Amino acid sequence: MESASGKFIPNVNPATGEVLGEVTQSTKEDVDRAVEAAKQAQKSWRLVPAPDRAKILYKVARLLEERKEELARTLTTEMGKVIEEARGEVQEAIDMAYYMAGEGRRMFGDTVPSELRNKFAMSVRVPVGIAGLITPWNFPIAIVSWKSLPALVTGNAVVWKPASETPFIAAEFVKIYEEAGLPKGLVNLVYGSGSVVGNAMVEHPGIDLISFTGSNEVGRLINERAGGLLKRTSLEMGGKNAVTVLEDADLDLAVNGIIWSAYGTSGQRCTACSRIIVHEAVKEELERKLVERIAKLKLGNGLDETVDVGPVINRAALEKIDEYVKIGIEEGARLLIGGKIATENGLDKGNFYEPTLFTDVKPNMRIAQEEIFGPVASIIPVKSLEEAIEVNNSVEFGLSSAIFTRDVNRAFQAMRDLDTGIVYVNAGTTGAEIHLPFGGTKGTGNGHRDSGVAALDVFTEWKSIYVDYSGKLQRAQIDNN
């Protein structure tokens, strides 16, 4: 259905500057229509047995598999990440579809002994109702799969606002839902700005929960407004993630993990490594190895299979990254490599930033505290594991952390003491798998999780049920004494 606004904005390829098409800008009235469609569809959908809902999700998984390459190329064209990463992202949506389809025959509650004779007690999950999903451009199909699939298998309907930068992949995903046989009205796609469409969703009395992934600033505003309306929110709001490299680490392995975590997706991951906390005994050697590897990274259009690093999403992001690099230099950090907008060999047509590495960074510098969301990493020297943990935990975010060490004792100490929702040992800060909870502590979120069984808690209410078959009134806590 077309928007009532009649307004459109261009969809631009960040690697080439080419206008790929236009995306409609919806209005509050469009949100109203989407919510009404969702409410009508959810009335009957909640009564469909969960195993039958799951059959549709299995079809979604198979269609995603069939169209993996096509979807990956669409994703790279409008978002910019290299094609290998785009294929991996589509695979994540495939994995999530299969996993959540499996929940159609699990979705476990509990049966427990009653304290009274001839009485049965159990708890079951029931759908919340209408889920409002607000998703970002950096993982435009993976993140919505984390949210929409558990929402649907548990009996909810969805109103979804994708990022304006990635409208095509959103449309393709909705088409797959339709082709899989999902009843009309259960997934409602509403394009538009956060200030118009996002606000309308948060404030709409017909939307029962908001699941949001994006910036801390916007997430806080959503939580404040939704909380006043007693509306459930699930927030995932970024990170300032660190890889710790101890003196006994396999440095070549650490370099591999850092390069992938810091410069994959051009650093535009909430789990990206932007801090490298390294023991002073191996600092110089690690710096040398990192600079050698960074110098070999190839920038370009992500559709080129030989490219390592694609563009950042738009000009505003490019300018923000460059400003942070200037701040780092002004703060006294030492620039080892990179540090400028890439313009050579035709890169000036897109939004490319050179992979950048600072060293001698102090933990309290802005580049070590604030989320840059670009291909910029900072080396922070430390003298011990204890200091490394203190530095790791000194930021306002708590999404992901990693440690490279051969000492199992120190690995377990780090696993216990690193204050993040995700911890990796001898791997980088990225690579979460869909069957475990995804999310973090502190400013990263508000306690809920995407992915894994934990995602069901976002989209369901617990209902406790008691069946008394004694034939008489029994009073709990009174008649059992």
Query: Which residues belong to the active site?
Result: 236, 270
Q: Is the dihedral of CA 236, 142, 159, 464 positive or negative?
A: negative
For residue 451, report the phi and psi dihedrals to the nearest 5 degrees. Answer: 70, 165
Tokens of 391: 């530095």
Tokens 């078959």: give the residue: 469
- Residue count of the chain, please give it: 481
Contacts (Cβ under 8 Å, ≥6 apart) of 447: none
Tokens of 469: 């078959």
The rounded Cα 240 to chain-centroid distance in angstroms is 14
- Please give the single-letter amino acid code of residue 451: S
Query: Strand ranges (DSSP E) for 163-217?
Result: 187-189, 209-213
CB of 116 within 8 A of CB of 470? yes
Q: Is the dihedral of CA 137, 142, 148, 150 positive or negative?
A: negative
- Provide the angle, in degrees to the nearest 10, between the axes of the packed helices 68-79 and 83-102: 120
Contacts (Cβ under 8 Å, ≥6 apart) of 325: 335, 338, 339, 340, 356, 367, 376
Nearest-angstrom CA–CA distance, 438 and 265: 18
Contacts (Cβ under 8 Å, ≥6 apart) of 326: none
Residue 7: name the closest of 200, 192, 188, 137 by CA: 192
Tokens of 405: 């060490």
State in Å, rounded, how far the first CA of the chain is from the last one.
Answer: 63
Residue 147: name the closest of 439, 397, 428 by CA: 439
